[in-house]
Structure 1
Amino acid sequence: MRQMFGGPGKISGLVLRIFRCIFAAVSVSISFSAPGLTEVTPFRVLLIQQCVETTWSFVLVCCDLKVVVFQGNLPSHFHVMVTLVIDWVVLTLSLGAISSAVAVIQLIATNSICYKEHEYICRRYMLSVGMDFIAMVFHAISALVLSWIVASSILPRAV
């Protein structure tokens, strides 16, 4: 398996997954503390997705910690493929949930609902979606690096 920036077993990969987990956890905590979040379906979907993202990121952080800190074995090609598939599924769910939540925030902000009495709540929604978007960017980088590693190990090299 090819070694590259952000890949499994590298310190850069561990840092990437730690940031991804932190931003997802911050997004979940902001979402849970915002009153009335579960009344709007896109925010409910976003909250479920944030919990999945945080859990999956934490699992990957633990796997990378095992390899980097405790000098464990690098994951096999099969484990990298499974991680890649799950990463892309979670990333796709994340993109869909964030897109629908942004659409609702845009609707609420355009209709001046946020500026009357609920400005604080709307800002929390916006901050939660922003944190989840940052987590999604780290997730996308991680998924693209894994895709590149898998593609480089499958495709034959030119002589």
Structure 2
Amino acid sequence: MKKMIGSPGTMSGLFLRLGQCATAAASIGVMVSSYDFSNYTAFCFLVASMGLQLIWSFGLACIDVYAIRRKSDLRSPILLSLFTVGDWVTALLALAAACSSAGVTVLFTKDTEFCRQQPALSCDRFQISVGLSFFNWFLAAISSHTMFWILI
């Protein structure tokens, strides 16, 4: 099987997973700290999606640490199939959540000027959280494509 950057059980794969964990956690933290986010379904979906991404990436980062310390190979077809499917599912959920939240954020700030009418609403935090979720999706897309190309 091919050895690529971001492969499971390598330092580059570990850094990729830790980046996913960090951006997911930051996105959740910024969104949860904003006022009244729970009244909007898209933002709740973003928090749930980033929570799933955080759990998945943290679990795979732990597996990477274990494989690096034991110098074991994680490139068996069954494990790669599991990693590939999990990465594609979490990447698609992250993209859907980021896009829906971005749509609501643009609607609030540009189209309806809802943010100006509701000064207590923290639209800047919404934008930061959505930006972090798009960066998280970018890292998840890299990981899922790497897994796919290693698998075939």
8 Å CA contact retained: 2:35, 2:120 = no
Residue range with higher mean Cα deviation, 82-91 or 112-121: 112-121
| Equivalent AA in structure 2 for residue 50 of structure 1 | M
**Whole-angstrom distance in 1 between the partners of 2:45 and 2:5:** 32
* Structure 1: segments with no counterpart, 5+ residues: 152-159
1:87 lines up with 2:120 in the alignment: no
**Whole-angstrom distance in 2 between the partners of 1:81 and 1:118:** 48
Question: What TM-score does the superposition give when structure 1 sets the normalisation length?
Answer: 0.89
| Equivalent AA in structure 1 for residue 128 of structure 2 | L
Map of 2:104 onto structure 1: 104
Question: What TM-score does the superposition give when structure 2 sets the normalisation length?
Answer: 0.93
C-alpha distance after superposition, 1:98-143 (max 9, x if no partner): 1111110010011222235537610001101111111110110000
Displacement of 1:31 in angstroms is 1.4
1:143 lines up with 2:144 in the alignment: yes
Map of 2:71 onto structure 1: 71
C-alpha distance after superposition, 1:57-112 (max 9, x if no partner): 10111011111134234242101101101110111111111111111001001122
* Structure 2: segments with no counterpart, 5+ residues: none
**Whole-angstrom distance in 1 between the partners of 2:109 and 2:28:** 22
C-alpha distance after superposition, 1:19-56 (max 9, x if no partner): 11111111111111112111001111111111101111
Aligned length: 151
Where 1:19 maps in the other structure, the secondary structure is helix
Map of 1:10 onto structure 2: 10
What percentage of residue pairs aligned between the two structures are identical? Answer: 32
| Equivalent AA in structure 2 for residue 55 of structure 1 | I
| Equivalent AA in structure 1 for residue 125 of structure 2 | R
**Whole-angstrom distance in 1 between the partners of 2:26 and 2:70:** 27
Where 2:52 maps in the other structure, the secondary structure is helix
8 Å CA contact retained: 2:36, 2:121 = no
Map of 1:24 onto structure 2: 24
Structure-2 change in CA distance of 1:118 and 1:60 (3 Å): farther
8 Å CA contact retained: 2:28, 2:50 = yes
Compute the RMSD of aligned alpha carbons: 1.5
Bigger-Rg structure (1/2): 1
Where 1:140 maps in the other structure, the secondary structure is helix
